[in-house]
Amino acid sequence: MISLNLSKAQALVLFDFLTRFSKRDRLAIECGAERRVLWDMLADLERVLVEPLGADYGQRLQEAREQVGGEE
């Protein structure tokens, strides 16, 4: 398991961003705060994931997508 820590403000901004996505089925950054939260989360993930650096990243990503499921 990997945990990401968010401040209350970051969580609220992210919640609104994801709620808009779920209603519109498209991602659109509407303000700098949303961009900042996403960048911060990406930086956190870069610190803990080694898979993106591996030669087999494509395969691992495909396996992860299959494991998580969801519509294509």
Helix 8-24 and helix 32-48: axis angle, to 10°? 100
The torsion region of residue 41 among left (phi > 0), alpha (psi -120 to 50) and beta comes to alpha
Q: Looking at residue 72, what is its pLDDT?
A: 58
What digits encode the pLDDT tens for the residues 14-71? 988 888 888 887 788 999 999 999 999 999 999 899 999 999 999 999 999 898 886 6
Q: What pTM does this model have? A: 0.74
Largest CA distance in the chain: 37
CA distances from 22 to 12, 53, 59 (A): 15, 30, 27
